[in-house]
Amino acid sequence: MSGNQLLKHFIRFAVLIILQVAIFDNIRFLGYINPLLYIWFILGLPSTINRSFLLILAFITGSILDIFSNTPGMYAFATVFVAYFRAPLLKLVVPRDDVSSSYEPSVKSLGFPVFLKYAAVLIVLLHLLLFTLEAFSFVHYELVLEKTIINSSLTLLLVLSLQKTKT
């Protein structure tokens, strides 16, 4: 990672965490709207990033959000899980000849259909894990699924629209 790239990702990390804590975790409309836009930070990191480093970054990101929302361990678990399956998924969806070179997953670098597949799978996985863990002590499966579908769509929409403005 060059210095410029590093700075870009750090700023993105800080801005997304602030947005998540100040806005997305506090939406009072309807009572179950809680998009997890912060995951864009993990999704957008360079493809050649060291795997262990990525996992530790994910753990730190998750833990910060856990502290703010009083949910010890939940964001951390879900974020690390998504970070671990990022590389295998990229291998699966990105055409073979691109694999060797380093790139940052985005609509611009992967093209819309490939990025959509990649982002959608990880975003749904994240929401499903987090909302299931949250419901841990109590079974309300329909509510978890409903929350997952609505909020994943919202997060995906946000990630895609933010990308468009950047290209």
Q: Is 51 a residue that touches another protein (CB under 8 A)?
A: yes
Tell me how far apart the alpha carbons of residues 128 and 153 are, in angstroms, rounded to a whole number: 12
Residue type, 86: R
Query: According to CB under 8 A, which one of 138, 141, 161, 165 is a site residue for another protein?
Result: 138
Tell me how far apart the alpha carbons of residues 35 and 67 are, in angstroms, rounded to a whole number: 18
Please list, in sequence order, all residues whose beta carbon lies within 8 angstroms of the beta carbon of residue 48, skipping any fewer than 6 positions away. Answer: 102
Residue 148, Cβ density class (10 Å: 0-12 exposed, 13-18 middle, ≥19 buried): buried
Please list, in sequence order, all residues whose beta carbon lies within 8 angstroms of the beta carbon of residue 26, skipping any fewer than 6 positions away. Answer: none
Query: According to CB under 8 A, which one of 69, 109, 153, 163 is a site residue for another protein?
Result: 69
CB-hemisphere CA count at 13 Å for 11?
6
CB closer to another protein out of 3 and 31: 31
- Output the smallest distance, CB 99 to another protein, in A: 17
Which of these, 90, 89, 81, lies nearest to 62 by C-alpha position?
81
Query: According to CB under 8 A, which one of 5, 10, 15, 26 is a site residue for another protein?
Result: 26
- Output the smallest distance, CB 54 to another protein, in A: 8
Query: According to CB under 8 A, which one of 52, 101, 165, 167 is a site residue for another protein?
Result: 52
Token pair, residue 156, equals 């995906």
Residues 81-100 that bind another protein (CB under 8 A): 81, 84
Q: Is 158 a residue that touches another protein (CB under 8 A)?
A: no
CB closer to another protein out of 1 and 116: 1
- Among the candidate windows 37-45, 96-104, 110-118, 135-143, which touches another protein by CB under 8 A? 135-143
Site residues (CB under 8 A) for another protein?
21-22, 25-28, 30-34, 51-52, 55-56, 59, 62, 66-74, 76-77, 80-81, 84, 131, 133-138, 140, 143
